[in-house]
């Protein structure tokens, strides 16, 4: 069997970890079509299972043994892995996943000492990282996507990376040509996150009537006020961060502030007409709305409507 016999997938992003495991298995199948794949997990692990599944078979078939969630491993699993690593089998490829933390450190050290191939699966949390993830998804698929479409997709589906990946795949499968913001809007414009961003964009731009219309429509179709307030807070925080960061290239500021370059450009455009005092009043209004929509007030819809009015009026008044 070609390829490394020991692989450590390190990092908390589950979709990247899953893809790394699938890649190892796919590579092994190239030279071993009848490959046997066994998966063990830390939860519910039974002592001796690693040794049993890694022992040579009667016919000497190649095997991939996947051990998931070393970061949750008990003593039995760690001991069995250390025992295996002291004398690994030639026909077995061992793949171990570890999200984070110190649990399993002895096994990690043993894997690294044995020169295991390390595949990173870093967390994708910031909008900048999500934008880069989306851009790469389409690059791998050999499809073009505009910066505006990347922005729209992250805003509409960016809460969960696995869901974001599925949305990218759907657009690749169901469309042709360059994917722009209109295409994303057609597929994902009705989502809760997208609705929240539309309300926030209108409010931050001082378009009171449009913001209230969008908000009332969202409420009428069952959108919870909580995520709308969360988006309002995010938009205002970004304005404050970019406003206080001074001048500089968008890419440099994006790296420093943990944002995507398009978010820097968007915030800079939105900041025109805003004063520091108006921004401060709006942030206070959203903080009050956040308290009320999470149980502190009697009327969550009125609370978010009041916050939207405050933001739009503050922008209009400067």
Domain layout of the chain by residue ranges: 6-120, 127-188, 192-317
Checking if the pLDDT of 181 tops 70, the result is yes
Give me the pLDDT at residue 259, please.
85
Highest mean pLDDT among 12-16, 34-38, 57-61, 245-249: 12-16
Q: Which residues pair with 145 in a beta bridge?
A: 179
Q: Which residues pair with 120 in a beta bridge?
A: 10
Between CA 229 and CA 218 the distance in angstroms is 12
- The domain at 6-120 falls in which architecture? 3-Layer(aba) Sandwich (3.40)
pTM passes above 0.75 = no
CB atoms under 10 Å from CB of 265, counted, come to 16
Checking if the pLDDT of 12 tops 90, the result is yes
Rounded to 5 degrees, φ, ψ at 5 are -90, -10
Between CA 275 and CA 315 the distance in angstroms is 8
**Fold that domain 192-317 belongs to in CATH:** Zinc Finger, Delta Prime; domain 3 (1.20.272)
CB atoms under 10 Å from CB of 4, counted, come to 18
| Chain segment 120-154, per-residue pLDDT in tens | 999 999 888 999 999 999 999 999 999 999 988 99
With bands split at pLDDT 50, 70 and 90, how would you rate the model's confidence at 3? Answer: low
Give the CATH number of domain 127-188.
1.10.8
* SS3 label, residue 117: strand
Question: In 205-249, which ranges are continuous DSSP H helix?
Answer: 208-220, 225-243
Considering the chain, what is the average pLDDT of its residues? 90
CB atoms under 10 Å from CB of 272, counted, come to 8
Supply 23's token pair. Answer: 């890649």
């Amino acid at each position: 069997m070609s390829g490394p016999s020991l692989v450590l997938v390190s990092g908390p992003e589950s979709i990247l970890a899953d893809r790394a495991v699938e890649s190892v298995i796919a590579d092994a199948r190239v030279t071993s079509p009848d490959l046997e794949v066994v998966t063990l997990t830390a939860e519910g692990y039974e002592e001796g299972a690693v040794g049993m599944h890694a022992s040579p078979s009667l016919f000497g078939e190649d095997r991939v043994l996947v051990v998931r969630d070393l970061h949750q491993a008990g003593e039995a699993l760690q001991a069995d892995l250390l025992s295996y690593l002291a004398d690994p089998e030639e026909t077995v490829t061992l793949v171990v996943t570890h999200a984070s933390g110190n649990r399993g450190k002895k096994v990690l050290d043993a894997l690294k000492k044995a020169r295991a191939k390390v595949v990173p699966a870093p967390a994708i949390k910031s909008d900048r990282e999500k934008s880069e993830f989306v851009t790469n998804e389409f690059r791998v698929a050999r499809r073009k996507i505009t910066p505006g479409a990347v922005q729209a997709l992250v805003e509409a589906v960016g809460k969960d990376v696995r869901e974001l990946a599925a949305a990218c795949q759907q657009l690749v499968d169901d469309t042709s040509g360059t994917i722009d913001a209109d295409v994303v809007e057609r597929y994902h414009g009705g989502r809760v996150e997208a609705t929240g961003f539309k309300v926030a964009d209108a409010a931050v731009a001082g378009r009171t009537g449009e913001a209230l219309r969008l908000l009332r429509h969202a409420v009428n179709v069952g959108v919870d006020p909580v995520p709308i307030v969360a988006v309002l807070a995010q938009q205002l925080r970004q304005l404050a961060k970019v406003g206080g960061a001074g001048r500089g290239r968008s890419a440099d500021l994006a790296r420093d502030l943990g944002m995507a370059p398009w978010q820097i450009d968007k915030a800079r455009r939105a900041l025109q007409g805003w004063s520091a005092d108006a921004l401060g009043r709006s942030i206070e209004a959203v903080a009050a709305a956040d308290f009320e929509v999470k149980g502190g007030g009697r009327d969550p819809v009125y609370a978010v409507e009041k916050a939207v009015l405050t933001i739009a009026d503050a922008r209009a008044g400067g």
